[in-house]
């Protein structure tokens, strides 16, 4: 456990000192929203569940849940997804 915490601190320090994007160094998701109609999510670990009202993605340290209505997956790649619909809520669930 101590090594994991040290590794996270080292990654933060490197991202800050080398001016590297934190999402890449710390393996975090990058989420881009256009209003409440589009959401583009990069750096996820897989699709856990999908319906016209909910999208659930696996992340390195948890899950990302997007809720709303009339969801349609426009693009899905191994680590990227583009979702369209009426987005009402985006929740990060930490493990």
Question: What integer pLDDT is reported at residue 95 of this predicted model?
Answer: 79
Determine the CATH number of domain 20-94.
2.60.40.2000
Give the pLDDT confidence of 19-68 residue by residue, as tens digits. 655 555 557 889 999 999 999 999 999 999 999 999 999 998 899 999 99
- End-to-end CA distance of the chain: give it in Å, rounded: 14
CB atoms within 10 A of CB 55: 24
What ranges do the domains of the chain cover?
20-94
pTM for this model (two decimals): 0.75
């Amino acid at each position: 456990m101590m090594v994991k915490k040290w590794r996270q601190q080292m990654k933060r320090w490197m991202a800050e000192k080398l001016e590297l994007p934190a999402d890449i160094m710390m393996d975090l998701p990058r989420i881009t929203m256009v209003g409440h109609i589009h959401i583009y999510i990069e750096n996820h670990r897989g699709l856990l569940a999908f319906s016209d009202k909910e999208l659930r993605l696996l992340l390195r340290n948890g899950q990302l849940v997007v809720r709303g209505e009339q969801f349609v997956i426009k693009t899905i790649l191994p680590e990227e997804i583009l979702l369209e619909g009426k987005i009402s809520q985006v929740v990060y669930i930490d493990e």
